[in-house]
Amino acid sequence: MGDILAEYKGALITTDADVKRYNIPIQPAITLDTASPLDPEDERDEFTMGLVNAFSNIAGFAPQSLIGLKDRLTDSYGNSPWIETIYWGIDKVSQVINKIVASTEELTNGHHTAKLLAWHPHRNMLAIAYQDDTVHIYKRTDDNDWTCELLQHRFMKKITCLEWKKRARGTLAVGCRNGVCVWSLGGDSVTNADLTRKLEPYHRHGASMNYLCHTGYGPISAIAWDPTPASHLLAVASATKGTLVIYDTMTLSTTPLKRQGKGNTLLRWSPDGSWLFVASDKQVKSRMWDTRCWTSTELTNPPGLGVQSACWAPDSRNLLISMHGKSDIHLVYWKDPTTASGLKQEKVYSVKAPVEGPTTHMNHNHIREIALSPTDGKRLAVVFEKSDGVALYSVQLDSMPTLTKKETLQHIGIVNTRASLKDAGKPIHIAYSADSSTSTTLAVLHKTGVVDFITQVA
């Protein structure tokens, strides 16, 4: 896996000469200063850094020592019951040490750690949520650079999801622990003075926010806008409750759709607005809502599996899903788009993750997220839990009778973005743009806040 710049009709482009030859538009990366938010001049921060260093040293020494103790006890006393009790205690101590180390790492770099990304459906604009409960709005300028605006509010805590309204200039819903912040950004507010330091975020002028909440409903885990023209409906799911809440953001009315279950973590509204897919990474049942009459059909996932990620094809008749803890991609489809009774699901591809490090670890390198190009549905991108690479596929979703005669997905290659080659961390989120008829651009968000781009021409 080398320095891949783009993909052109199934071939990976690795040189600037080929980029110019095929006239491929390249987006500049978005970078953010990831220095520690701790101030070295502050005595309290010196104490915090001392704790970080101390626990890091413990983490480097304690696990090996505990494992060595377990081995010596086994050699001396065998596998007696009381030895098993000691083993249990040793494992608990190791878990506590790992949690402490994770907490200290969050102190040092959690402030600028990115969480989520959403690409505006028809503008060259990205929203990125960070661990410090802020959302940065990045906009492309005419000179091929980025400006940055900041959204922040005391109600916007513990951000879990965000999505742009499909048919609006600047309406962004941000799901939080106890409610949803619906931001209206209004017109452009960038002035010439604002462009002097483009990537330093400044507070958005003229932005307004409505806070939507339903008594006793939370934590919010997923949101989805209805893309139907003139609709203002927003679907909201909770990770602990089976009920789905539908907000009308124009009238501020609320409609709960009560169903049995322990919660949902994924919502996907079809491009034509007719279907709403509801699923969880922990539940073996999914649900397809017909939004024209608000009736639903229950879908049975493969045995014992929840849904990790999902994306609709532009025709609203095919839904690609990946299963939690697996590397398989399934297709949910039906021939008659007027009813959900004929819904079918079948496995169409088993993704092979890029091999990095010991091959024994790759058995657990499962799919983290999938994304399908929204304009033509011809490109699929896949990121994994334990890999820096992004897998690219060409997609052929024709009429379903031909499904068994040819492959739905064809592997193009594995891409390491320039950011991942510079230790920006593993990709945690991906999203396709929908602003060009000749090419599509995949945004790859890394944990450090760096966003790199892969341009694809089908």
Q: Which residues are 369's β-sheet partners?
A: 383
Tens-digit pLDDT profile for residues 250-270: 999 999 998 777 899 999 999
187 pLDDT above the threshold of 90? no
Tens-digit pLDDT profile for residues 99-119: 555 554 444 444 457 789 999
Tens-digit pLDDT profile for residues 26-79: 888 888 643 333 333 344 445 554 554 555 555 444 544 555 565 666 666 666
pLDDT number for residue 193: 33
What tokens appear for 14 in the block? Answer: 């690795």
Query: What are the residue boundaries of the structural domains of the chain, listed by start?
Result: 141-186+205-299, 305-457
% residues pLDDT > 90 (the chain) = 42
Pick the CATH number of 141-186+205-299 from 3.40.50.2020, 2.130.10.10, 3.40.50.2000, 3.40.630.30: 2.130.10.10
411 pLDDT above the threshold of 70? yes
Mean pLDDT check: name the lowest of 129-133, 236-240, 360-364.
360-364
What tokens appear for 24 in the block? Answer: 């491929």
CATH of domain 305-457: 2.130.10.10
Record the pTM.
Answer: 0.79
Tens-digit pLDDT profile for residues 326-345: 998 999 987 666 666 678 88
Fold agreement between 141-186+205-299 and 305-457? yes
Tens-digit pLDDT profile for residues 190-204: 433 333 334 555 566
